[in-house]
């Protein structure tokens, strides 16, 4: 990755997001079972592999960019800022998702029929 431009890494991440986001529809519509893929393996693939790829193509290059543009001896502060923003994003993401669900979609434990709408909203918001 040392030879890559960071702009290209971000473009690759956007392309990976375009590929991975619709794959969630496969799980929601249960097509994975028709293809012979169990739910456990499919969810593992979606969550773990997607998160690892996202970390590799966004968080690490951004850390390097921050380290290059910050004044010397405060690189750790910029990394802590990135980590804090990432953690805040993780916390606020679930709150916003549940707020959208409560206000517009109405998915519950008993009724998952409109869950695909939440996946569609998530897909649109990922850009």
Which pLDDT tens digit goes with each residue over 35-71? Answer: 998 888 888 888 887 778 777 777 777 777 777 788 8
How many domains would you assign to the chain?
Answer: 1
Residue 11 confidence (pLDDT) above 90: no
Q: Kindly state whether residue 1 falls inside one of the protein's structural domains.
A: no
Q: What integer pLDDT is reported at residue 21 of this predicted model? A: 76
Q: What integer pLDDT is reported at residue 4 of this predicted model? A: 66
Q: How far is CA 54 from CA 8, 60, 64, 99, 115, in A?
A: 14, 9, 15, 25, 24
78 contact partners, CB below 8 Å, separation of at least 6: 63, 66, 67, 70
Q: Kindly state whether residue 31 falls inside one of the protein's structural domains.
A: yes
Residue positions counted in the chain? 127
N- to C-terminal Cα separation, the chain? 24
What is the domain range of residue 76? 6-125
For the question of whether the overall pTM of this predicted structure is more than 0.75, the answer is no
Which pLDDT tens digit goes with each residue over 72-81? Answer: 888 888 888 8
Angle at 58 between CA 87 and CA 99, to 5 degrees: 45
């Amino acid at each position: 990755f040392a030879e890559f431009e960071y702009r290209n890494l971000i473009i690759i991440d956007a392309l990976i997001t375009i590929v991975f986001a619709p794959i969630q529809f496969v799980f929601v519509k249960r097509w994975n079972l028709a293809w012979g893929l169990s739910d456990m393996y499919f969810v593992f693939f979606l969550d773990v592999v997607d998160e690892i790829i996202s970390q590799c193509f966004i968080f690490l290059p951004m850390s390097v960019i921050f380290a290059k543009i910050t004044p010397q001896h405060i690189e750790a502060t910029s990394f802590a800022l990135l980590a804090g923003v990432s953690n805040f994003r993780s916390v606020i993401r679930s709150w916003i998702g549940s707020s959208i669900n409560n206000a517009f979609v109405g998915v519950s434990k008993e009724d998952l029929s409109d869950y695909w709408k939440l996946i569609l909203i998530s897909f649109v918001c990922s850009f």
